[in-house]
Structure 1
Amino acid sequence: MANLTFLSLVLTLLFLLNFQVRNAHKLGPKFPYFDKIYQFGASKADTGNLIRENPSGSTLCARFPYGETFFMNATGRCSNGLLIIDYTALSAGLPFLKPYKEIGADFSNGVNFAVTGATALPVETLAAMNILSPYTRTSLHVQLDWMASFFNSTCHSNTDCAERNANSLFMLGEIGSNDYTYALFQGKSIQEAKQMVPQVVGAIANGVRRVIQFGATRVVVPGNFPVGCFPFYLTGFQTNDSTAYDEQFHCLKDINNLSIYHNEHLQQAIDELKTQNPKTTIIYADYYNAFLWILSKAQLLGFDVNSIQKACCGIGGNYNFNMSKFCSMPGVPVCPNPYRYISWDGIHVTQHAYKLIFEWLMHNSLTKLPLHF
């Protein structure tokens, strides 16, 4: 029954996706299916936690032109505007999720625990592998501890928490790609990164178990993106060896195969979790194929086909990206029309691309599963 109710929610979401971004706040009443959202993850979901952890102003996403398209100022979101979680909230008739680190924030409709740069594995575990987490010590484990503290302060008992969260949606990721990114850019081989996959997936699976302990009945677990198609990786691992790239999109095959390997293990873990928790709806969100769909339909979707792997906010090189001149640094220009670009700053995508990814995810869920009211 939980699956059917969740699918009914997905259909309702799909029919509301024709809103204009500027008028998104004018959506009607929230859905009766869920009244709160709890988000965990890293930079593709952070709505302002890292910039509050690091208020010195050194965080790149804390400065303009981040946020220029929708908010007209930087909010800590690593894009020019809205993220997938923002579209999820708007389509549910809920306000944008406030970051957990925002003092005095209204958390009546949920909390965003995601932190830019976060890893799935604890930083101590990575350090034992000689891998440093350069931006934050707030791993998924820490975010889950934040959640536990939050619920322990707002629920009177486990039963009370379960009742409060019966109509909540838990978004557990995307997370894990930073673990591999830090490993690879700090000299680890693809094979060494692959050896990390069971631990990374295990940390995510443990996260699902922990949210279920607090009464979660609807959990979405996104997979990793095909980051071998992102300007950051294409620049960092650029090579004259043509066999390193796939023929269709000119993405780095070994990097994308690592994402595929992670996603396969994650889906296996989700299947096991479903068996262990039959009363909980756990859905895998296929970010990987959603992104490839955008690449395959780029011209039809209005993107500049000559710039589908170039950063909008960047400078230099084949991918308009320089490893030492990131977006928001002085002298780094922004493309005149972000809606024509998929990538925003080399590792994150534009608001328009996030919207299309969200739409693909909703449609893809419906085409795979039977629907009843």
Structure 2
Amino acid sequence: MANNKALVLFICFMILQAAAMASHPNLKSCKFDQIYQLGDSTSDTGNYILETSNLTAFPCAHPPYGETYFKNVTGRCSDGRLMIDYIAKAAGLPFLNPYKNKDTDFRHGANFAVAGSTALPARFFASKNITITRTNSSLDVQLDWMFTHFKSICHDSKDCAKKLKSALFIVGKIGPDDYSYPLLLQGRSLDEMTAMSLEVVEAIADGVRRVIESGGVKIVVPGSFPIGCLPVFLTEFHTNNDADYDGHHCIKKLNVLAKHHNNLVIKTIEKLKKENPNTVIVYGDYYNAFLNLVSNAKKLGFDKKEFNKACCGTGGEYNFDINRMCGTDGVPVCSNPKKFISWDEAHITEHGHQIMSDWVINDILPKLECH
């Protein structure tokens, strides 16, 4: 009887262990020894605060950013860890250091992402009379940094190919800010953004080609979030017409733009795979990873009444006022960020990032062809 009881307890323990592993998937089977990240504020671990001399205008450079995990500001636009932090952990690697921090260790890769970055270069927006207010460190600039870094660690292209054969490259997410600047700051039309999306995605494709040229063989290309679910867009595009919103109270027409962008990315990946049959290129479905948060908010521990509001912010239905943003003196922060999906007007909480990264890792792992 005692032996049977012990056996039952052992089986229960193994089931619980398997469940725990399933809820927090890992990438260790891929044996990545480095990760290289390009992108925007979704992935920036400190480059923006290192490249700018004007931190006053950058909310993520001030408390309460970083409060949940780091207990200090790091340049991450969240209360704690980002998806790239969880992805690195799942691969058994340390957090990626920002490339702009020259006095650091890049043995396990580097992060080139910069908050506010666009896929298209600054000259493109200048030609369209669109003002970029955050940074000119667009995707092409980040790729130049990456090539400079590889020149410092590789003797030649053959040596680079050898050193990077076990590296994971994440090209994005990048592109949504190409639409955000003209939509939010200059009132450009959605039709204009839809037309521009072809050029945005082609810039991402060119970025992937450059990554392959550098020696990358395992590449993830993330898509856009459903931007119509973010507090900044919910505030700026608010209407009194229920027909403008979907069942999650997200703005339909903005999510149509995001889905259009993502469909172009998916088609582009298929084209790139045909061009490069020996390279593994995988779509990172950030759109549905985010929708998972919204669709299952209560089950995942979020407050269903607060899930589309910013935890840090003030004013209006979604806790966002462009004149009193998170990080500004006197702007309140919620007592429990784990109950919120959005940390501020456009960025996710650490808890949201953890759930999204688990979802994405489960989705991409079978497609990465790790053996």
- The normalised TM-score by structure 2 is 0.91
Is the Cα contact below 8 Å between 1:228 and 1:234 reproduced in 2?
yes
> Separation in 1 of the partners of 2:330 and 2:158?
55
Alignment of 1:337-348 (within 5 A): 337-348=336-347
Aligned to 1:155: 154
- Root-mean-square deviation (CA, aligned residues, Å) is 2.0
Distance verdict in 2 for CA 1:95–1:369, change over 3 Å: closer
| CA displacement at 1:371 relative to structure 2 | 8.1
> Separation in 1 of the partners of 2:368 and 2:102?
43
Aligned to 2:250: 251
| CA displacement at 1:17 relative to structure 2 | 5.6
Aligned to 2:208: 208
| CA displacement at 1:249 relative to structure 2 | 0.6
SS in 2 for 1:111: strand
Percent identity, please: 49
Structure 1 residues 273-282 or 234-243, which shifts more?
Answer: 234-243
SS in 2 for 1:37: strand
| CA displacement at 1:355 relative to structure 2 | 0.5
Amino acid across the alignment from 1:15: M
SS in 2 for 1:169: strand
Matched, 1:54 2:52: yes
- The normalised TM-score by structure 1 is 0.90
Is the Cα contact below 8 Å between 2:40 and 2:114 reproduced in 1?
yes
Structure 1 residues 165-174 or 54-63, which shifts more?
Answer: 54-63
Alignment of 1:97-112 (within 5 A): 97-112=96-111
Aligned to 1:24: none
| CA displacement at 1:365 relative to structure 2 | 3.5
| CA displacement at 1:369 relative to structure 2 | 5.8
> Separation in 1 of the partners of 2:293 and 2:355?
8
SS in 1 for 2:208: helix
Q: Which runs of 5+ in 2 are unaligned?
A: 1-17
Is the Cα contact below 8 Å between 2:220 and 2:281 reproduced in 1?
yes
Aligned to 2:222: 222
| CA displacement at 1:92 relative to structure 2 | 1.2
> Separation in 2 of the partners of 1:362 and 1:69?
23
> Separation in 2 of the partners of 1:226 and 1:318?
19
> Separation in 2 of the partners of 1:15 and 1:207?
34
Aligned to 1:36: 34
> Separation in 1 of the partners of 2:363 and 2:214?
29
The superposition leaves residues 169-213 of structure 1 with CA deviations (integer Å, 9 ceiling, x where unpaired) of 000000000000011121210000001111000000001000101
Q: Which runs of 5+ in 1 are unaligned?
A: 1-11, 20-26
Amino acid across the alignment from 2:191: Q
Is the Cα contact below 8 Å between 2:283 and 2:364 reproduced in 1?
no
> Separation in 1 of the partners of 2:193 and 2:52?
28
Matched, 1:363 2:362: yes
Is the Cα contact below 8 Å between 1:47 and 1:75 reproduced in 2?
yes
> Separation in 1 of the partners of 2:69 and 2:120?
33
SS in 2 for 1:355: helix
